[in-house]
RNA sequence: CGGGGUGUGGCGCAGUCUGGCUAGCGCACCUGCUUUGGGAGCAGGGAGUCGGAGGUUCGAAUCCUCUCACCCCGACCA
């Protein structure tokens, strides 16, 4: 057992922090609420970026960059937007030793400045759609922060698109939600539930907000990504107008969508075990680590030579960077095992004198510790197969866990019993009012996460008020 | 912002109530030897002025005042 990680059952939040420290994923910075993302953590982010970026580009999006600082007046142009973000803005009031004429806001998100630029760039329906994404940092001065899950500054991508019609914008909004779902499930092996957010949980300035929700091992919900149909609200505020096919001036329809470094927190809390993080193979920057084991100088020569042969084969199959041989001489094998375990590397190959003799290596899975001996010949195929199995098993395990912990509640007593007992997600009817949602939240801490697509047209009676309800919604205690 | 808590080598803590001698302990770190297939052992060594400022006192980690920071629980949020 890990000696530097509190078991999940003992204290889940402490476990989470310990896993981050043990895996050297991130550290607190001297600046309140900000984190330093260490190479092991940043590697995960780079990998997420790489996969997502590809998916964005394959769907026609391009990258650009907009500035960090936004004129304060921009934020105030859209009424809901300013109301939503004002409390958490960091503002620059001085620069170059002088008080600024107009304070500059450090972007909490970039709808406003991008809207401003789009207004300039878009003149005609021929300029549409505009499909731009940017990878950047944003700042929201949160009261309470937790590494990866909620930090004052975080990294993310924000896509901003402008379209000719509502339908196109809506299609884009749902397409991107689908891409997030695909990414989370296929790459991160994190099962998610997509759906629309209720009115009162929308992004400030959105017509409709969609999100995907994941279940952590403590059965709390984590919003993993969001996609907003902004209607014409920002177009109106920033005068993004175009001359239509009918020679009439019209407002564009815009969307925005984003996901953040929070996903790393989700990854930890979905797959991690008491020994630390487990990185799904498709996401892992490093998939296989080869550990040579020897005592004598003679053994060392033979073992290292053989380990290199193994690595050569693995690299040919998995690519150079996905395989590492741990040559360090000042560390004993057991110590190496643990450090790689705590970094969540999916597969370990142990090469000792016995293995050299038997012309093979011992493959050890990170997720379930299964060990299997494999001959040098074909070891790369076997490794690739195991990696895919790990990927599938992680997803299945997380999916089973989530499904087992989604329960319907007909009565409020049932609702409360579930939260007090097993916990998890609850499907229940809701009368659609903010008042009722807030009542339920204050009484149980549970919030409406999303309205799942296949639950939105199910009439019934509100679990709290008994009033008519047109939909079942997903409730959970959330991060 | 409300409630609670904590600040002592890199990390975790003891010492504070009841002021006193060179401020201890575990882990980590460095050196050497032995070890090496699931977190090693022995020996030696380096490193702190006790969050900060002020005060009381012959004498302060310890008492008093102010202040800062961090953590946990709420409210706010990706």
Q: Which domains can be identified in chain A, with CATH numbers?
A: 12-271 (3.30.930.10), 288-387 (3.40.50.800), 406-476 (3.30.110.30)
Nucleotide nearest to A262 (CA to C1'): B78
A99: helix, strand or coil: strand
**Eight-state DSSP code of residue A23:** T
| Whether A443 CB is under 7 Å from strand B | no
The answer on pLDDT for A3 being more than 90 is no
Per the structure, the residues numbered 327 to 346 in protein chain A that have their CB within 7 angstroms of any atom of strand B are: 332-335, 337-339, 341-342
| Length of chain A as a residue count | 479
Residue that has been written with the tokens 């490794």 in this structure: A383
Chain A residues 248 to 287 with C-beta below 7 Å from nucleic strand B: 260-262, 275
- pLDDT digits over A426-446, tens only? 999 999 999 999 889 888 889
Q: Name the residue with the least CA to C1' distance from nucleotide B77.
A: A142
Give nearest nucleotide to A295 (CA–C1'): B36
Q: Which residues of A297-334 are buried (b: 16+ CB within 10 A; e: fewer)?
A: eeeeebbbebbebbbebbbebbeeebbbbbeeeeeeee
CA/C1' separation A349–B43 (Å) = 36
Would you say residue A27 has pLDDT above 90?
no
Whether nucleic acid strand B comes within 7 Å of the CB of A203, the answer is: yes
> Can you list the alpha helix ranges (DSSP code H) found in A183-296?
233-238, 262-271
Task: Give mean pLDDT, residues A167-186.
Answer: 98
A352 CB contact with strand B at below 7 Å = yes
Q: How many CB atoms lie within 10 A of CB A55?
A: 17
Q: What is the tens place of the pLDDT at every residue in A159-172?
A: 999 999 999 999 99
Q: What is the pLDDT of residues A87-136, one digit of tens each?
A: 888 888 888 888 899 999 999 999 999 999 999 999 999 999 999 999 99
- The Cα A425–Cα A295 span in angstroms is 53
Angstrom distance (rounded) from CA A372 to CA A57: 40
DSSP string computed for A388-441: HHHHHHHHHHHHHHHHHTEEE-SSHHHHHHHHHTT-SEEEEE--S-HHHHHHHH
Q: Which pLDDT score is estimated for A382?
A: 98
| C-alpha to C-alpha distance for A340 and A342, rounded to whole angstroms | 5
Nucleotides of B under 7 A from a protein CB: 1, 35-40, 69-78
Q: What is the torsional sign of CA A231, A237, A240, A245? A: positive
DSSP state letter for A6: -
Mean pLDDT over the full length of chain A: 94
What tens digit of pLDDT does each residue of A346-403 get? 999 999 999 999 999 999 999 999 999 999 999 999 999 999 999 999 999 999 999 9
Average pLDDT over residues A3-32: 84
Q: Are A266 and A272 in contact (CB under 8 A)?
A: no
- Which of the nucleotides lies closest to A441 (Cα–C1')? B75
Give the pLDDT score at A36. 86
The answer to whether the C-beta of A296 is closer than 7 A to strand B is no
Provide ipTM, 2 decimals. 0.85
Distance (Å) from CA A92 to C1' B17?
A: 48
């Amino acid at each position: 057992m890990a000696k530097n990680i509190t078991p999940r059952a003992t204290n889940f939040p402490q476990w989470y922090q310990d896993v981050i420290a043990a895996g050297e994923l991130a550290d607190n910075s001297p600046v309140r609420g900000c984190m330093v993302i260490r190479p092991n953590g940043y590697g995960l982010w780079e990998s997420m970026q790489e996969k997502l970026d590809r998916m964005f580009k394959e769907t026609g999006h391009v990258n650009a960059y907009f500035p960090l600082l936004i004129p304060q007046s921009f934020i105030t142009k859209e009424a809901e937007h300013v109301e939503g973000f004002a409390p958490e803005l960091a503002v620059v009031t001085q620069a170059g030793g002088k008080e600024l004429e107009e304070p500059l806001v450090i972007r909490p998100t970039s709808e406003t400045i991008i809207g401003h630029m789009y207004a300039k760039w878009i003149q005609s329906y021929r300029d549409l759609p505009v499909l731009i994404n940017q990878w950047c940092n944003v700042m929201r001065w949160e009261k309470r922060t937790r590494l990866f899950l909620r930090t004052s500054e975080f990294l993310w991508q924000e896509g901003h698109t402008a379209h000719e019609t509502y339908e196109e914008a809506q299609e884009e909004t749902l397409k991107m939600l689908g891409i997030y779902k695909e990414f989370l499930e296929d790459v991160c092996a994190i099962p998610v539930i997509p759906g629309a957010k209720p009115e009162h949980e929308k992004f400030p300035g959105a017509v409709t907000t969609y999100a995907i929700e994941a279940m952590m091992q403590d059965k709390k919900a984590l919003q993993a990504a969001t996609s907003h149909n902004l209607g014409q609200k920002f177009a109106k505020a920033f005068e993004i107008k175009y001359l239509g096919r009918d020679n009439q001036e019209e407002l564009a329809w815009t969307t925005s969508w984003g996901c953040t470094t929070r996903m790393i927190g989700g990854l930890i809390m979905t797959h991690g075990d008491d020994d630390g993080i487990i990185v799904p193979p498709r996401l892992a920057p490093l998939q296989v680590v080869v550990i040579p084991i020897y005592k004598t100088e003679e053994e060392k020569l033979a073992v290292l030579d053989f380990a290199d042969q193994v690595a050569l084969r693995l690299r040919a199959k998995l690519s150079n960077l996905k395989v590492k041989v741990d040559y360090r001489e000042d560390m004993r094998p057991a110590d190496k095992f643990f450090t790689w375990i705590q970094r969540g590397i999916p597969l370990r190959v142990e090469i000792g004198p016995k293995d050299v003799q038997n012309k093979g290596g011992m493959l050890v899975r990170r997720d379930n510790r299964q060990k299997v001996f494999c001959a040098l010949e074909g070891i790369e195929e076997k490794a690739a197969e195991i990696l895919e199995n790990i990927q599938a098993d992680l997803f299945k395990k997380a999916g089973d866990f989530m499904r087992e912990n989604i329960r319907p509640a007909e009565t409020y007593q049932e609702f409360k019993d579930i939260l007090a007992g097993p916990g998890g997600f609850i499907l229940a009817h809701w009368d659609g009012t903010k008042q009722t949602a807030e009542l339920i939240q204050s009484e149980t801490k549970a919030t409406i996460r999303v309205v799942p697509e296949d639950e939105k047209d199910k009439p019934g009676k509100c679990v709290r008020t008994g009033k008519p309800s047109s939909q079942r919604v997903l409730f959970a205690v959330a991060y």
